[in-house]
Chains A and B, each alone.
Chain A
Amino acid sequence: MRGNPEFIRNVWLEMGLHRLIVMPAVLGILFLLIYLSGGKTLDSGTALVAAVMYCAVVLVWGTRVASEAVVQEINNKTWDTQRMSALGPWQLAIGKLFGSTVYVWYGGLICMGLYALSWLSHLPLFYVVKLVLLYVGVGIIAHAIGMLVSMLAIQKRREFGRIQVTFYQFLGLLVAAPLLYIGLSGIAEDGATSYMLWYDRTFNLIDFTLAGIAVFAIWALVGLYRLMRAELQMANQPWTWLAFCLFAALFVSGIRLLPPEMNPGMPDVSVKMFHGYVVLWLLAYIVAFAEPKNRILFRRLRRHAALGEWSAFLAAVPRCLPTAALFLLATILVLRTSEPTFQILDWTLNFQLVVIAVFLFFLRDLMFIFVMNLRKPTPRADMNAFLYLLLSYTIIPVVLSALGLEFLTSAFWARPDFSAALTLGPVILEIIVMIGLLIYQWRRTVMSEAGVEETKP
């Protein structure tokens, strides 16, 4: 880190003498008050206080700071200077992630020191170390996700307010909080540990959570690096993203969510495939909304294809397209390894039709998102598409159902209890309409120069 100018700059900004004194003073006084008002012993009560202080400082405040790291550079007009510098994408990513949060970590490590001190008389040292590592790992994940989301956002917009930053902070916390919960549930106060199955092997829950956090933190750093490369005008091929999708799908596939007796109609392999299928479904939607998809991008793709510049074509191709291909592959694998119907508790569901319908609905939605982006290229296009789709998946079918028009809900939901024609027919019709709209918008904006509002010649 000493050789990273970006990290050093952040240290200069964050670690002023006054701030160095204030942090331990405030945390120390708070902790002392609790210690004195309690039984003047270090126990689970003081550990809880230290953990809460850590969460407030590192998770809540730190994730905010990390989410703001690049956004503030843009708002303060210093981002171009950094983009023009000789700093590499790793230097910028690491320097910003750990530099912008260096003061937060200073406070967090004090909290963790007090936390460890509180537990040491009750739990073995290696358990305490694991708990501390869990908190630290969750902090890094929260910061990395907050910054990652903000960097995804700057690909589409360059103006940010508090609301946007709060949203990125929220997403960071949304990912980190369950990990912390799962990890903490791995060790009881009396030191008893929980176990879990992953690819039929038994793992200590906290060890597994720590390993998962470490691996996904590395992926988050890789994501930051890739987005930083894009900001520095360096081309990114899609393979890293696809590798992450595969990894995430395989990782989650190994986790046994339901005991075997809960799904007697499904062979174990298809349960695992189904987990991977769900992960890819989620990732495909996330990337479809997150990445830019304006007409310039498609015009560039068209040009690269026409010139046979396939490396540039792959670098520019929206990641949702290869992700959709992976999702299709997962759909086929699930269909090949599963029975047509699925018994879950007392219900017999038309499982394979639903799997197909979910994929078709995704295709429809993807085309709808493209149409919305081509129709009016504003930063709100994706948000508008999201709201329309949310309506179509929630209020509209609920209203139809309430009106007794149950059969019409198959136009909005993949219904496992309907016939093949009614499950697949409406969504196929919707796809045909979307293809028509997409072709129209493609011709209007991507193929035709008339799509460009020409400046006067």
Chain B
Amino acid sequence: MIDIKNLVFEYPTKRALHDITCEIKAGSITALVGPNGAGKTTLIRCIVGLHAPFSGSVTLDGMDVHRYPRECHRRMAYLSDFFGVYDGLTVRQCLTYTARAYGVEDKIVPSAVKTAAERLAIEDRLNQKAGELSRGLRQRLAIAQAIIHGPKFLVLDEPASGLDPEARHSLSNLLIGLRDSGMTLLVSSHILAELESYCTDMLIMRDGRISGERGLGVSEVAGGAKRLKIELAHSFPSLEQQLAALPGVAEVKLDGLSAGFVFAGDLQAQHALLKRLMTLGVPVTAFGEDKLGLQDVYLAHLRNQGAAPAAQPAFPREG
């Protein structure tokens, strides 16, 4: 979907992006995470064609974003962390203007306005002035504006900033809904717990570089094996040795009343493994795939990179 190759961006006083190469897969929701000043917003603005890079390229389905910005803009949308709406216009006027500005045909503008408003649950506010809306409703209006032309690729910079927990939950559901409707999303945020609920991939930025890139919620490891996890009712002596001795099991790690390991085998083999554990008298209370969470991946990445805990962005910016 989006291919970024050797992207370098410089401000007059500093280089903000260093030779970045990465990919955003079609149909994914990619979290762009990293500490303040890592270059996330600069990267996003290069991706959407608002910043011209010093060198390198960004392509959207093979089309160079910086060579054909207007053509690409018809197929993408961007919502900045500091967005604005026209306070003097009604919600309907805001959406109508945006639809027409994004090239939606005049005859289908009313239905596009209605659909976008319904999707963001602001159809009852259509005749209200944008300046009278709460922060959460303004955010919804801004997202409705961004998606009104049906972009294939949507970029959101800190979309949950300033939203209350309920609005954040709604936002998560909305983003998943957009993904399910065929949209590819790139979301930058400091709030890892929130990204966790809907992101499928993660890009970690640090000092203007991509320092990590991987899928989330995936338990598969190299060679088609899976990472499995069991939880116990109480401790079981020599569990590590007994597990390691079972066929297909490797890399056993105990953590209190749970154990994780890599298992090579299909579903039938997993069933047989569970049966064997029960036979051995292991007090299993839960058995399943050990999916990696965003927070786990990010913290593991930081540990590998030797980063100080203070650099972890896993906290919300607002109270």
Q: Do A and B come from one complex?
A: yes
**Interfacial residues, chain A to chain B (CB-CB below 8 A):** 5-6, 8-9, 12-13, 76-78, 80-88, 232-234, 294-296, 299-300, 303, 377, 452-457
Report B5-23 residues with CB < 8 Å from chain A CB. 10-16, 18
CB contacts (< 8 Å) of A83 on chain B: these are: 50
A86–B101 CB distance below 8 A: yes
CB contacts (< 8 Å) of B28 on chain A: these are: none
8 Å CB contact of B52 from A12, A88, A233, A453: A233
Report B165-188 residues with CB < 8 Å from chain A CB. none
Q: Does B224 contact A (CB under 8 A)?
A: no
CB contacts (< 8 Å) of B11 on chain A: these are: 296
B84–A77 CB distance below 8 A: yes
8 Å CB contact of A296 from B12, B83, B84, B86: B12
A457–B10 CB distance below 8 A: no
Q: Which of B66-74, B212-220, B266-274 contacts A (4 or more CB under 8 A)?
A: B66-74
Q: Does B91 contact A (CB under 8 A)?
A: no
A78–B74 CB distance below 8 A: no
Closest residue of chain B to A82, judged by CB? B101
Compute how far the CA of A235 lies from the CA of B194 in the bound complex, rounded to whole angstroms: 40
* Range, interface on chain B: 35 or more
Kindly list 15 other residue pairs between chains A and B, CB separation below 8 angstroms, not including A82-B101, A299-B10, A377-B12. Answer: A5-B101, A9-B89, A12-B97, A76-B86, A77-B80, A78-B83, A78-B85, A86-B70, A234-B70, A296-B54, A303-B55, A452-B13, A455-B14, A455-B39, A457-B18
B78–A453 CB distance below 8 A: no
Q: Does B150 contact A (CB under 8 A)?
A: no
A454–B52 CB distance below 8 A: no
Compute how far the CA of A300 lies from the CA of B86 in the bound complex, rounded to whole angstroms: 36
CB contacts (< 8 Å) of B149 on chain A: these are: 86
8 Å CB contact of B74 from A86, A299, A300, A456: A86
Compute how far the CA of A142 lies from the CA of B11 in the bound complex, rounded to whole angstroms: 34
Compute how far the CA of A457 lies from the CA of B102 in the bound complex, rounded to whole angstroms: 40
Q: Does B200 contact A (CB under 8 A)?
A: no
Q: List 15 contacting pairs A-B, 8 Å CB cutoff, sorted by A.
A: A5-B100, A6-B101, A8-B97, A12-B88, A13-B89, A78-B83, A82-B101, A294-B12, A296-B10, A452-B13, A452-B14, A455-B14, A455-B37, A455-B208, A457-B209
Compute how far the CA of A78 lies from the CA of B88 in the bound complex, rounded to whole angstroms: 13
B98–A80 CB distance below 8 A: no
8 Å CB contact of A85 from B39, B89, B102: B102
Compute how far the CA of A78 lies from the CA of B79 in the bound complex, rounded to whole angstroms: 10
Q: Does B289 contact A (CB under 8 A)?
A: no
Compute how far the CA of A84 lies from the CA of B149 in the bound complex, rounded to whole angstroms: 12
A76–B97 CB distance below 8 A: no
CB contacts (< 8 Å) of A12 on chain B: these are: 88-89, 93, 97
The 10 closest A-B pairs by CB, nearest first: A77-B84, A377-B12, A5-B100, A86-B103, A85-B101, A78-B84, A294-B12, A76-B84, A453-B14, A9-B97
B6 to chain A, nearest CB (A): 13
Compute how far the CA of A87 lies from the CA of B77 in the bound complex, rounded to whole angstroms: 14
A55 to chain B, nearest CB (A): 27
B78 to chain A, nearest CB (A): 5
Q: Does B315 contact A (CB under 8 A)?
A: no
8 Å CB contact of A300 from B13, B54, B145: B54
B89–A453 CB distance below 8 A: no
Compute how far the CA of A421 lies from the CA of B39 in the bound complex, rounded to whole angstroms: 56
Compute how far the CA of A13 lies from the CA of B103 in the bound complex, rounded to whole angstroms: 21
